[in-house]
Amino acid sequence: MSFSVAVSGATGYAGGEVLRLLAGHPEARIGAVTAHSSAGTRLGVLAPHLHGLADRIVEETTVENLSGHDVVVLALPHGASGPVAAQLPAETLVIDAGADHRLTDPAAWERFYGTEHAGSWPYGLPELPGAREQLRGARRIAVPGCYPTSALLALVPGFAPGPGSDGGLLEPDDVVIVAASGTSGAGKSVKPHLLGAEVMGSMSPYGVGGGHRHTPEIEQGLSRAAGTAVQVSFTPTLAPMPRGILATATARLAAGVDADAIRDAWDAYYTDEPFVHLLPEGQWPTTGSVLGSNHAVLQLAVDEHAGRVVVCCAIDNLTKGTAGGAIQSMNLALGLPETMGLDLQGVAP
C-alpha cells in the first residue's frame, strides 16, 4: 500500500526528521516539501543530511501545494498549522507536529498560547490508555510535545489501570517533573540564548514556576489516564547537547504501595510495547542510547525515605518526541504495522 506524504515545515528540525524517517519507510512516497522563507531553495542546502532529497526544491506552504497527497505532515510554528489544516480535505490524513490541536481545554490553550483554540484531535502517543483505538483510521492526529512524551511515558503506569495494577499507585496531587532538553527542541531559528557560546558548557532552567506550556499537556495526559485530575509541577532545562531529553519524574506513593508493586506495574505496562523499555534494574537511561531512534528507555527507584517513586525517561526529542511518534501514529491511522519504517537502532557514541 504505497501512499504519498507532503511535509510542511520541511526545512525545520522537526520536518527534517520526518523526512529522514519517511525516506526509510517502505510504503511512503515523499511528495511536496514546503516551508516559508526558504521557499525556492534546494533542500540539500538547508538539510544536507537528507541526501536522497537534496535536489528537491522547497515550495511555499499553500493549500494548493499540499493538496493531492494521502498524508500531510505539518511541522510549523505554533498557531500556523490550524488555518492550513482547516482547509485540507477531510479524507487526507493530517498530522500536526505542532501544538495547535493537542489540548482539549480551550481555556488552557488560551492561557498558555494566547490565541483562539483550533480544537483538539486524537493524541499521537499510542502507549497511552485507549490511544491506539482512537488512532486507528484517524484522519487528524496531534503529535505530542517532546517533553510531554517523556513525562507521560515515565509516569502513566502509576496512574492508569493496566495489566500489572488497577491504577492509582501514585498520589495525583504531588507530581514533580524536571527535564533536560537538547537545543534542537527550540527549533532552528536563530535565538541568542541558543548560540553555541551561551549553551556549550552551561545548563539553564526556563519556564520555572508552572509557566511552561507543556504543563497543561502533561496534566491532560495523566488526568485522562488516572480518571481524576492530576497536578504537575514541571521545570524544563536546556542542556548543552543538540538532541535528546532526560526527564526525571517523581510522585508520592499512594498508601500501601511498595517497591514491588511499582516495578510490577511498569514492567507489565510496557512489556509488549515495541518502543518503550523498562531497563534491567541498576541500568539507568541515557539520552545517548536513544539518539536517532524511536525508542524510549526508563528506569525507576522507590525512595522509601521520601515515600516517592523516581522515574527517569530518555528519548530523542526529534524522533520519539516528534517525528517517530508521528510516523508510529501515521502507521496506525493507515492500518499499517505500527513499527513500519521505525526499525532504527540508536547512534553511538
Ligand X SMILES: NC(=O)C1=CN([C@@H]2O[C@H](COP(=O)(O)OP(=O)(O)OC[C@H]3O[C@@H](n4cnc5c(N)ncnc54)[C@H](OP(=O)(O)O)[C@@H]3O)[C@@H](O)[C@H]2O)C=CC1
User: What residues act catalytically?
Assistant: 146
* CA distance linking residue 63 with residue 88, whole number of Å: 7
| Residues found in the chain | 349
Q: Is residue 115 at the binding interface for ligand X, with CB under 6 A as the rule?
A: no
Nearer to ligand X2W, 84 or 170 (CB): 84
Question: Which residue from 165, 294, 299, 317 is in contact with ligand X, where contact means CB under 6 A?
Answer: 317
Question: Which residue from 82, 122, 145, 244 is in contact with ligand X2W, where contact means CB under 6 A?
Answer: 145
DSSP-derived secondary structure letter, 256: T
At residue 158, what are phi and psi to the nearest 5 degrees? -85, -15
At residue 262, what are phi and psi to the nearest 5 degrees? -65, -50
* Residue linked to cell 510495547: 273
Q: Is residue 252 at the binding interface for ligand X, with CB under 6 A as the rule?
A: no
Question: Which residue from 16, 82, 164, 185 is in contact with ligand X2W, where contact means CB under 6 A?
Answer: 185
Q: Is residue 12 at the binding interface for ligand X, with CB under 6 A as the rule?
A: yes
The entry of ligand X, ligand X2W, none that residue 236 binds, CB within 5 to 8 Å by partner kind = ligand X2W
* CA distance linking residue 153 with residue 249, whole number of Å: 10
Name which of residues 237 to 276 contact ligand X2W (CB under 6 A): 238
Q: Is residue 5 at the binding interface for ligand X, with CB under 6 A as the rule?
A: no
The entry of ligand X, ligand X2W, none that residue 326 binds, CB within 5 to 8 Å by partner kind = none
Q: Is residue 181 at the binding interface for ligand X2W, with CB under 6 A as the rule?
A: yes
Asked if 144 and 97 touch (Cβ cutoff 8 Å), the reply is: no
- Amino acid, single-letter form, for residue 186: A
Q: Is residue 242 at the binding interface for ligand X, with CB under 6 A as the rule?
A: no
Look up residue 109 and give its three cell numbers: 490553550
34 sits in the region (left: phi over 0; alpha: psi -120 to 50; else beta) called beta
Containing 215, the helix (H) or strand (E) segment is helix 214-226
Nearer to ligand X, 34 or 250 (CB): 34
Q: Is residue 236 at the binding interface for ligand X2W, with CB under 6 A as the rule?
A: yes
Footprint of ligand X2W on this chain (CB under 6 A)? 98-99, 145-147, 181, 185-186, 236, 238
